[in-house]
Amino acid sequence: MYSSKITGLGYYVPENVVTNNDLKQWMDTSDEWIQERTGIKERRWIDPKTEDTTAVMGAKAAKIAIDRAGLTKDDIDFIVFATLSPDMYFPGGGVQIQDLLDMPTIGALDVRNQCSGFIYSLSVADQFIKTGMYKNILVIGSENHSGGLERSTRGRGVTVIFGDGAGAAVLSRSEEKGKGILSSHLHSEGKHAKELALIGPSTNRWVPEIMEDNDPEDVSYFPHMNGQFVFKHAVVRFSEAIIEGLTANGLQKDDIDMLIPHQANLRIAQFIQKKFQLSDDKVYNNIMRYGNTTAASIIIALTEAWEEGKIKDNDLVVLAAFGSGFTWGSVVIKW
Ligand code: ACO
């Protein structure tokens, strides 16, 4: 068995900054409420006049990651692409990346695990590399939330949280024992699917049906979140996933050098930090600047932490996520 390690990281966020005060033009909200409840100060929302889309942002992040890995597009054997906001209902975004980067006709797999999307994608890529099937895999998380959010007071509980952006990693084969991805643990609990979901349009509720009903109260085409219910589950599942990852490797919380939690809410990350008694330099958060970018959040944060020199050789890096599905999981990496 080989091991797999991250050899390149990159991210891209749209230039357009939307502050909490900017949101007041659409809804009854305040900078104070948003910061106090979520920690978010601003987010990036795609300017529709630009070329950016979920796939385009993913391709921009991917180019940086491939370059930093010291590779070219022709060295990549496979693409794993995570998003809940694809450019098209079908096909998925992975094939768009293959085309946008003018890559050879390699396989492209789409992962739909929302905020856990990057954790699931990394785990999938890890299995392909460990078995020897592929040498270099491009793993991408990208989201264009802004186009599909309800910009009104009715939608404010969800809309203020989400931001756009993309991150990418190159996962490569390695023969160094005890380094790279040590473990991944993945979970789901579908009975809570509708607590955080975008119900329609879907095969269960096609557009003609929605139009025929013409019910102004039916906004099932906007995301719905039972915030407090999700919050309560998140703090429990985040902790479980981290403990599961540490235990599987015979490690303790004191062994963690860097925890990158999915950026869902700064209060959730702070709760986890306190629970695991981690100092500020051992947890990386950027939700203040980007909001929740779902499948892109962990990889953007990981890239920034690495760029800032906060992740060094031999560090123990723990990634953990929880989100819609519900889905959750962790990845433990020896850098
Ligand atoms: N501005 C001002 N007031 C608001 C806003 C807003 N943006 N949003 C809601 N409110 C109001 C509500 O209407 C409510 O008013 P009321 O008491 O008069 O009815 C009050 O504030 C409290 O609302 P809650 O929804 O109870 O607020 P809460 O403290 O729970 O915070 C939040 C909401 C931030 C969404 C929080 O519940 C949360 O972070 N939940 C978890 C999110 C998460 O982890 N998601 C998973 C990942 S996302 C994914 O997978 C796609």
Q: What is the pLDDT of residues 222-233, one digit of tens each?
A: 999 999 999 999
Question: Sign of the CA dihedral 231, 235, 241, 244?
Answer: negative
Distance 171 CA to ligand 1 centre (A): 36
> Is the CB of 228 inside a 6 Å radius of any atom of ligand 1?
yes
First-last CA distance in the chain:
18
Q: Which atom of ligand 1 is nearest to the CA of 323?
A: 50
Distance 94 CA to ligand 1 centre (A): 32
> Is the CB of 157 inside a 6 Å radius of any atom of ligand 1?
yes
Distance 137 CA to ligand 1 centre (A): 37
The reported pLDDT for the residue numbered 325 is: 97
The structural domains of the chain, with segments of one domain joined by +, span 3-174, 180-334
CA-closest candidate to residue 300, choices 146, 147, 161, 143:
143
Per-residue pLDDT reduced to its tens digit, 16-27: 999 999 999 999
> Is the CB of 200 inside a 6 Å radius of any atom of ligand 1?
no
Active site residue 265: no
The reported pLDDT for the residue numbered 236 is: 97
What pTM does this model have? 0.96
Active site residue 226: no
Look at residue 210 and tell me whether its pLDDT is greater than 90. Answer: no
Look at residue 201 and tell me whether its pLDDT is greater than 90. Answer: no
Distance 232 CA to ligand 1 centre (A): 12
- Tell me the C-alpha distance between 248 and 251, whole Å: 8
The reported pLDDT for the residue numbered 158 is: 97
Look at residue 75 and tell me whether its pLDDT is greater than 90. Answer: yes
Distance 34 CA to ligand 1 centre (A): 9
CA-nearest residue for atom 12, ligand 1, is 157
Residue 273: strand, helix, or coil: helix
Active site residue 292: yes
Look at residue 235 and tell me whether its pLDDT is greater than 90. Answer: yes
CA-nearest residue for atom 9, ligand 1, is 157
What is the percentage of the chain residues whose pLDDT exceeds 90?
Answer: 93
Q: What's the CATH superfamily of 3-174?
A: Thiolase/Chalcone synthase (3.40.47.10)
Distance 157 CA to ligand 1 centre (A): 5
Distance 258 CA to ligand 1 centre (A): 28
> Is the CB of 265 inside a 6 Å radius of any atom of ligand 1?
yes
Q: What's the CATH superfamily of 180-334?
A: Thiolase/Chalcone synthase (3.40.47.10)
Phi (first) and psi of residue 11, to 5 degrees: -145, 160
Mean pLDDT of 288-314: 98
The reported pLDDT for the residue numbered 33 is: 98
> Is the CB of 156 inside a 6 Å radius of any atom of ligand 1?
yes
The reported pLDDT for the residue numbered 3 is: 96
The reported pLDDT for the residue numbered 159 is: 98
CA-nearest residue for atom 37, ligand 1, is 227
> Is the CB of 334 inside a 6 Å radius of any atom of ligand 1?
no
Mean pLDDT of 281-297: 98
DSSP 10: E
User: 280 is written with which tokens?
Assistant: 């500020």
Considering the candidates 145, 185, 233, 262, report the single residue annotated as catalytic: 262
Per-residue pLDDT reduced to its tens digit, 113-159: 999 999 999 999 999 999 999 999 999 999 999 999 999 999 999 99
Answer yes or no: same fold for 3-174 and 180-334.
Answer: yes
Phi (first) and psi of residue 91, to 5 degrees: -70, 175
Per-residue pLDDT reduced to its tens digit, 254-269: 999 999 999 999 999 9
The reported pLDDT for the residue numbered 217 is: 87
- Tell me the C-alpha distance between 39 and 331, whole Å: 25
Question: Sign of the CA dihedral 86, 91, 92, 94?
Answer: negative
Buried b (16+ CB within 10 A) or exposed e, 186-217: bbeeeebeebbbbbbbeeeeeeeebeeeeeee
The mean pLDDT value of the chain amounts to 97
Considering the candidates 20, 113, 115, 145, report the single residue annotated as catalytic: 115
CA-nearest residue for atom 41, ligand 1, is 231
Considering the candidates 136, 144, 265, 292, report the single residue annotated as catalytic: 292
What is the percentage of the chain residues whose pLDDT exceeds 70?
Answer: 100
